[in-house]
Amino acid sequence: DITALFVVDTSVTYQPETFVGAKLSEVYEQREAEGEEILENAEGLAEEFDRSISTAIERGRPSKVVLDYVEEHDVDHVVIGSHSRDLIERFFVGSVAERVVDRIPVPVTVIR
């Protein structure tokens, strides 16, 4: 079984509308809509190869959501994408893929 999981990062602790005029709820709704489109594309790709796929959208801190999802759904392997961030951004923000790899109890494949 294959499940494609999209996580809407709700771990932002400051209110961006103070800085850029965006309401946090609108940002989350936009990201969720993007996630739905990505998951629809995944379903279409699976269909092209005559495969079935389940999809899920969750909200929260991405690395924690992935770890919890793996535990709650008896996942036996994770494939996760890795964005190539610059060194400074990775130092301050970190990498979801790195946090998952460091903490997850199942094999992980990281795709650049």
Q: Are the C-beta atoms of 35 and 57 separated by less than 8 Å?
A: yes
Question: Is the pLDDT reported for residue 69 higher than 60?
Answer: yes
What integer pLDDT is reported at residue 90 of this predicted model?
56
Which of 12-26, 52-66, 73-87 is predicted least confidently? 12-26
Question: Is the pLDDT reported for residue 111 higher than 50?
Answer: yes
What integer pLDDT is reported at residue 25 of this predicted model?
79
| Residue 62 CA: distances (Å) to CA of 1, 20, 49, 51, 52 | 22, 23, 28, 26, 24
Q: Are the C-beta atoms of 101 and 108 separated by less than 8 Å?
A: yes
| pLDDT averaged over every residue in the chain | 85
Q: Are the C-beta atoms of 53 and 42 separated by less than 8 Å?
A: yes
Q: pLDDT tens across 27-64, in order? A: 888 999 999 999 999 999 999 999 999 999 999 999 99
What integer pLDDT is reported at residue 12 of this predicted model?
66
pLDDT bin (cut points 50, 70, 90) of residue 94 is low
| Residue 95 CA: distances (Å) to CA of 15, 66, 89, 112 | 22, 13, 9, 12
What integer pLDDT is reported at residue 13 of this predicted model?
57
